[in-house]
Structures are given as structure tokens and as C-alpha cells.
Chain A
Amino acid sequence: MSTTAISVHGLVKSYKGVPVLRGVDLDVEAGTVLALLGANGAGKTTLIRVLATLQAADGGTCSVAGHDITEDPLSVRKASSLTGQFAAVDEILSGRENLQLIARLRHHSRPRQAAEDLLRRFALQEAADRRVGTYSGGMRRRLDIAMSLVGDPAVLYLDEPTTGLDPAGRAEVWQTMRALADAGTTVLLTTQYLEEAEQLADRIAILHEGRILVTGTLAELHALLPPREVEHVQKQPGLEDVFLALTAAGSGGMEESL
């Protein structure tokens, strides 16, 4: 019934003799979100770059949407899309021009229409004709993800999509990712934020020192540790809740009411 969208077996990759990936095995089912957790330097970005055909592996096999990454990289590039660690947008072009450019490069039959649809979907219509250099971090990230969705690729790699964003920007991106998951896109998400994985992922994999330590649902990962003593604590709103409530622009009502 279920099909595998990303399949990685025994993936090995070194940089200048230093092993980064030491035999990674990972499967991502089609239409699910997998969060790859790991500290800086665990090899998350390297894994994504290999899957996006930007770097060749030293050993092992990977396939994306049924295509082997070494034998048929072009089909892999057609089926997948990368949103890298730093928003790779053209700051001199407008948001609309960025999207049209990507649509042309993906050989879309109607690039203008494709750009228009994504501007609407990502609530970027108002800023569509402004230079991207003037966008906020959250808007830039939204445009970045929108650019990755031109042509509806089956598989999306999101490499630390919320790193460097303020809480409001992060909330924007989370909302976007939830909508993607609902639409059935397969997402491989890397993150250092445990909360992000909890909130967004169907399954979570932990990458440590170049190997996958464990893969499972949040409940399965919780079950790995014995349950703790039950404590009763008063439920306080988190700092993030307070910050977001106070700074929610234009929402009104909260200001000065404390």
C-alpha cells in the first residue's frame, strides 16, 4: 500500500579523509514528513546535498521517487526540490520574478500562472513586485519554499528551514510546512529544534556521528525511555506563547491588556 519516496542504504561520504556519513540507512514513505534531528556537524546537510544530487556519495545507494541518484540524476532533479540552509533567492529580482524564473527553468508550460498561484498560496501577493532584498526573514523563507514548489515536485528537502528566523517567522514557516504535509508532499526536514520535529513530523530520525541512531514516531521514541514519575505542575504559557501573543502585529486586543 505505502510506497517509499526516499530510500537510503549504506550511504558513506567523507570530506578530505574525514568520514561524515558512515553508513546511513533511511526510508521515507511517500506523503509523509520525516524530521532528521542532529547536532551541528552530524551530517544532516551532507545527506541532503547527496540526495539533491549536489554531491556524489562515496558508497551506498540512494533512490528518490524510484530513481537512483547516480544512474539517473536528471529524473531525481525533476522529482525533487531543495530549500537549502540559507534562503537561496535572488535579492535583486522581485518575488514574482524569482518564481517566474524558476518556473521557466522547470520548463513549466505557463510560468506566469505558476508564479501567480504560488504568490497567492504563500500570501506574497502584496510584496510580489518588491525587490526580495526588502523582504523580512520570514517572507524570504516563504518565497524560498514557494520557489521549491514550482511544478509540484513529489519530494521536498528542507534543510533547517527555520534557523535564524524570529518566532513569528518560524510560526509562518511551520504553517507552510503543515499545509505541504496535508497536500501530500513528501518532506525530508532537517532541524536542530526538537520542538519543530514534535510539531511537524510523522516520523523522526536521529542522526548522530554519521549514523542513524533511531527512527520512529514521536510515541515510539518516547517509549524508548521508561516513564517517569507523574508530577502535577501548574500549566504556564511558554515564553514563546507570551512573546508571540504580545508581538502579534495587527491582531489587536492583547496590547496593554496584561
Chain B
Amino acid sequence: MSSHVVQDTAALTGRTLRHVTRSPDTIVTTAVMPIALLLLFVFVLGGAIDTGSASYVDYLLPGVLLITVASGVSYTAFRLFQDKQSGIIDRFRSMPITRSALLWAHVLTSVTANALSLLLVLAVGLLIGFRPAAGPAAWCAVVGLLLLVTLTLTWVAIVPGLLARTVDGASAFSYPLILLPFVSSAFVPTGSMPAPVRLFAEHQPVTAIVDTLRALLAGQPVEGSIWPAIAWCAGVLVIAQVVAVRLFRRAAA
């Protein structure tokens, strides 16, 4: 059976990728809200925010990239929910295939779709003055960290995708994920926040991830924020994957 795992995953990924390419609006919709936030903060609110750095768009962009992934993975939950509702998961499961191939197909599709949305947001950022100073090694680290974040949030999204009973339920989980960057160093430096809020903001994963991305993109040393960032992602990734796979198996029992 295991000899077919690659073949099965490839066939099923081809299917879910077609779902994305046949409704390219999902990629645009994913990017629209982050782009609107980017424009709003850079051109309307940003002038009043003192970040201590020269350019607010350079400060803001990493957080907006995270918001892009957070809203992008809600489509993964949505697509998985649709598969469950339509009975096609049961069809696949009654066939002699590697059962985990179906979840991996959704994961690989999510990574692809999010990468496209991220490129779109990045392009708008460059248009409005984002000027990264990262070298090749730092860019590799940026791509690697964004990939890790996308994988993590995708596995998180699979859980409501499998559990939800309504379409709204399947994608509602992404709202807190989208709001989390607002209570972090993504939009304003945490130093301006009241003590309890600041305590939360400085110890939640978005701040560690955003600070790391910002330092890498600016071509500066990452100052120790990279390890908490990776540890948060890896920890949540492992938990979410174990829960998701268990839920997927349980539905078969």
C-alpha cells in the first residue's frame, strides 16, 4: 500500500489544485483584505504611528503576510468541509488508497494557493515602497519561515474542516487568527501598549514571527526571536497534525 502513497497524493493534489485554478478568485479574495489593510495602514493610519524605523511599509509588511496566510487557510477548511459534505471523502476512503493521501493533497494545495496570494501581496508592497535589504540567505530564511507558518496554519485549518457542521463553522476559526496580529508587534511597537496587553503581545507567536521576518527582510540580525518563532510553529504544527489525523481516522471507525 505504501508504494502508492506518492501516486495517490499526486492524483488527489491534482484534483484539489484544479479546484483552485478553476476558481482563481479564491487567491485574489485571500489577498484583497491584506492588501486593503496594507493600504489603509500605510496611507491613512501609518503617519501617526511611530515605529522608530524609516519606512512604515517596511515595518508593516511582515504582519500583513501573516494575515494573508491566516485568511488563505480558511479556504482549505472550506474545501475539506465540502469534500466531507459531498460524500467524496467516503468514496475515496472505500477505495484501496493510502488514506493520508487525501489530507496531504489538501495541505500541498494550501501551500501552493497561499504562496500565490503571498506573491500578490508582496507585489503590491513593492509597488507602494516596500524596499527589502535581505541577501539570498535571508530570503531563503524568509521563504522557509513563511512555509512553516503556512504548513502550521493549514494543519490547524484541517481540524475545523473535518469537525464543522456548517460552511460558516468551517471558516470561522480564521477570524481570531486574523485578529491575533493586531495584538502583536505587527502594526505598532508593543512598547506603546498598557502592561497586561503588552505582556500578552510580547509572548504570543505572532510577535516572534513578525520580528524575525522584519529583521530578515531588513538584512539585520534576528536577535533571538527566530527560535521562539520556530518553536511556536513546530509545537502547534505537531499538535494540530496529531489532532487532525486522529479526527480523520476516527471518522472511519
Per-position 1/0 for B10-34, Cβ under 8 A of A = 0110110011001100000000000
Complex: A81 Cα to B92 Cα, angstroms: 10
Which residues in A have their C-beta under 8 angstroms from that of B95? Answer: 77, 81, 102, 105-106
Question: Are A90 and B15 in touch, CB under 8 angstroms?
Answer: yes
Cβ of B53 under 8 Å from chain A: no
CA distance A74 to B19 in the complex (A): 29
Bound-state Cα–Cα, A80 to B94, Å:
8
Please measure, in the bound complex, the distance between the C-alpha atom of A53 and the C-alpha atom of B95, giving whole angstroms.
9
Q: Which of A91-99, A161-169, A214-222, A236-244 contacts B (4 or more CB under 8 A)?
A: A91-99
- When the two chains form their complex, are residues A54 and B7 in contact, meaning their CB atoms are under 8 A apart? no
Task: Give the number of residues in A that approach B within 8 Å (Cβ atoms).
Answer: 30
A110 near B: Cβ within 8 Å? no
Q: A86-B87, A107-B4 are in contact. Are A54 and B252 (CB under 8 A)?
A: yes
Contact with B94, one of A54, A86, A91, A101 (Cβ below 8 angstroms): A54
Tell me, in angstroms, the Cα distance from A86 to B15 when the chains sit together. Answer: 20
CA gap between A49 and B86 in the complex, in Å:
16
Say how far B11's CB is from chain A's closest CB, in angstroms: 4
With contacts A54-B252, A107-B7 known, is A88 near B15, CB below 8 A? no
> Would you mind naming 9 contact pairs between A and B with Cβ atoms under 8 Å apart?
A49-B90, A52-B94, A74-B1, A84-B90, A88-B88, A88-B91, A89-B88, A101-B15, A107-B96
B54 contacts the other chain (Cβ, under 8 Å)? Answer: no
Q: How far is the CB of B183 from chain A (nearest CB, A)?
A: 37
- B19 pairs with A82, CB closer than 8 A: no
Chain A nearest CB: distance from B71 CB in Å?
21
- Given A78-B96, A92-B22, A105-B8 contact (CB < 8 Å): yes
> What 8 pairs between A and B have smallest CB-CB spacing?
A88-B87, A104-B11, A88-B91, A77-B96, A82-B94, A52-B94, A78-B96, A88-B88
A82 to B95, CA, bound (A): 8
Give min CB distance, B81 to chain A, whole Å.
14
The answer, yes or no, to whether A39 is at the interface (CB within 8 Å) is: no
Q: Inside 8 A of A86's CB, which chain B residues have their CB? A: 86-87
User: B96 — which chain A residues lie within 8 A by C-beta?
Assistant: 74, 77-78, 106-107
Which residue in chain A gives the minimum CB-CB distance to B1? A74
Q: Shortest CB–CB separation between residue B162 and chain A, in angstroms? A: 15
Q: Does A55 make an interface contact (CB < 8 A)?
A: yes
Interface residues of A (CB under 8 A from B): 49, 52-56, 74, 77-78, 80-82, 84-93, 97, 101-102, 104-107, 147
Residues of B within 8 A of A54 (CB): 90, 93-94, 252
Residue on B with the closest CB to A52? B94
Judged by a CB distance under 8 angstroms, whether B45 is at the interface is no
Residues of B within 8 Å of A147, CB to CB, are 91
**Contact string, B217-253, partner A, CB cutoff 8 A, digits 1/0?**
0000000000000000000000000000000000011
Within 8 Å CB of A85, what residues of B?
A: 87
- With A and B bound together, what is the CA distance between A87 and B88 in angstroms? 8
Instruction: Report chain A residues within 8 Å CB of B177.
Output: none
Query: Is the C-beta of B97 less than 8 angstroms from some C-beta in chain A?
Result: yes
With A92-B22, A147-B91 known, 12 other A-B pairs at CB within 8 A are A54-B94, A54-B252, A55-B253, A78-B96, A81-B94, A84-B87, A87-B87, A88-B88, A92-B18, A93-B15, A106-B95, A107-B7
Closest CB-CB distance, B87 to chain A, in whole Å? 4
Residues of chain A within 8 A (CB-CB) of B94 are: 52-54, 77, 80-82
Give chain B residues whose Cβ lies under 8 Å from the Cβ of A93. Answer: 15, 18
Q: Measured between C-beta atoms, what is the minimum distance from B160 to chain A in Å? A: 21
* Bound-complex Cα distance A207 to B27 (A): 49
| Pairwise interchain contact B11-A88, C-beta atoms closer than 8 A | no
**B214: shortest Cβ distance to chain A, in Å?**
39
Contacts of B18 in A (CB 8 A): 92-93, 97
Which of chain B's residues has its CB closest to A150's CB? B95
Which residues of A have CB within 8 Å of B4? 107
A158 vs B246: C-alpha distance when bound (angstroms): 29
Chain B residues with Cβ below 8 Å from A92 are 18-19, 22-23
Taken together as a complex, chains A and B put the C-alpha atoms of A147 and B97 apart, in Å, by 15
**CA distance in complex: A77, B97 (Å):** 9
